[in-house]
Amino acid sequence: MTPDIVVDIGNSRMKWGRCDDGRVVEMVSLPHDSPVDWKRQAELWELNITTRWAVAGVVPREIDRLRDWLAARRNLPAIVTNDLFANGGPTGFITKVDELHRIGIDRLLTAYAAYCRHLTLAPVVVINIGTAMTVDFVQRDGVHVGGVILPGPHLMAKSLHDYTAKLPQVPINAVLPTAIWGTNTESAIKLGIANAILGAADQLFWDWAVHVGEPPWVYATGGDAGYFRGFQFTADVAGFEIDPMLTLDGIRMAAEFV
């Protein structure tokens, strides 16, 4: 099925992508439980009963909520699932994780989209920064070997506030830091979070580059990928790109096999 609209349902919000001419051309972020916002966006994009939807996500109840809403509009969405990435699956892109059905479909779709950009030209590292930060590794032959999960910047900020007596809840501004130290509590927290994100990604990239023995491609996506704008990895890279629509593009491509 070739979708007109792709939806990525994350832990905090959902993203809709409008497809045209074989790519995702527009993206919007919407609340989970807000049919009013969904209706307004559907009207803005002039969607109707002939619109073809493809949906993937990590929150089953929210997938069901959106599917029910679409059914009321006489739309039957294609649900993209982990089965597409099993050994022998139709995409030709497989994962070697121990428990296929426990890994977040967003990780697989983002890795799949990144791999499809280059197809055997280089190994790939995919960094996705949302509620959680994930880093996934794809071999040159299109095998996803696994990855790493750690708290995203908003979770880090919230945990420092919730589990200490005096530390404030700080807003996150995902930009590359320029300071070496913070001059007050808020700036110190922001700088610490930024360096935790960047330092973890850089070390993991270095280890993967050593493992594969050649410079990998790196993709960053997610709401807080701005930390990496202008960042220089310590290991050599084959190329680097920030693409906020990478997961949506993975849904678009995977939906062709549903």
Tracing tokens 């701005």 back to the chain, one arrives at: 226
Q: What percent of the chain has pLDDT over 70?
A: 100
Model pLDDT for residues 109-128, shown as the tens digit of each residue? 999 999 998 887 899 999 99
Per-residue pLDDT of 162-201, as tens digits, reads: 999 999 999 999 999 999 999 999 999 999 999 999 999 9
Answer for the pair 144, 97: CB distance below 8 angstroms, yes or no.
Answer: yes
Q: What is the mean pLDDT of the chain?
A: 96
Report the distance separating Cα 255 and Cα 258, nearest Å.
5
Q: Where exactly does CATH 3.30.420.40 map onto the chain?
A: 5-79, 94-246
Q: What is the pTM of this model?
A: 0.94
Active site residue 141: no
Assign domain 94-246 to its CATH superfamily: ATPase, nucleotide binding domain (3.30.420.40)
What's the confidence (pLDDT) of residue 88?
Answer: 82
Q: 């990496």: which residue's tokens?
A: 228
Write the pLDDT tens digit of every residue in 192-231: 999 999 999 999 999 999 999 999 999 999 999 999 999 9
Distance (Å) of CA 233 to CA 140, 203, 258: 20, 9, 37
Set 20, 68, 98, 106: catalytic member: 106
Which CATH class, in words, describes the domain spanning 5-79?
A: alpha beta
DSSP class per residue in 108-136: HHHHHHHHHTTSSSS-EEEEEESSEEEEE
Q: Rounded mean pLDDT of 57-74?
A: 96
